[in-house]
Amino acid sequence: MLDETRPIIIAGGDGIVISQNKPARRLLGRGTGKFCWDFVGEIKGTDQELPCRQGCVMALLSKGMDCSQQVQFKIRGKQNHLSCIPANGVVVCMLGSDDGQEPALTQALTPREREILALLADGETTATTANLLGINESTVRTHVERMRSKLAVTTRAAVVAEGFRLGYLD
């Protein structure tokens, strides 16, 4: 049985992403309809080049179900791995970390940060967000600063945009 918490991407025989689970959307954004080698190959901050190349899915499928491709790499000093496994005309790509935690591609937002993110996306200000949640404005500002840091962006608008891209917002 597949681990539901591990980011999983499935590419069809033509190399186009046909499915991905929620952890994959959260880490990499929406990839359905994109070429797998472009989508997975966009992982930034790795200490080595990933094997994602144009046609890599087709090449792996042509080698048969007994062949898989795996690579170890570091992001932010944490050891991660990518496994691409051909199966029944598709390639299943799984991301993981060697410590069993979520891969170090991005830091997950806390439930409170997601709550504040949703309010920001609805156009709420720091003051109205604080009032709606019954917390201090300084606490809201602290959460926004942490989200900016986690998502590697510089503005509130970019926090909201990245929230949509990563699947935190619909």
The per-residue pLDDT for 1 is 37
**Tokens 């979520």 sit on residue:** 102
Instruction: Pinpoint the residues of the chain covered by CATH 1.10.10.10.
Output: 111-165
Q: What are the pLDDT digits (tens) for 94-148?
A: 888 766 555 555 557 888 998 999 999 999 999 999 999 999 999 999 999 888 8
Residue type, 52: C
- Rounded Cα distance between 128 and 28, Å, is 31
- Rounded Cα distance between 20 and 8, Å, is 6
> Could you tell me the CATH superfamily of domain 8-97?
PAS domain (3.30.450.20)
Residues β-bridged to residue 68 = none
Instruction: Pinpoint the residues of the chain covered by CATH 3.30.450.20.
Output: 8-97
H or E stretch covering 30: none
CATH class of 111-165: mainly alpha
Residues β-bridged to residue 91 = 11, 86
Q: What are the pLDDT digits (tens) for 19-39?
A: 998 888 877 888 899 999 988
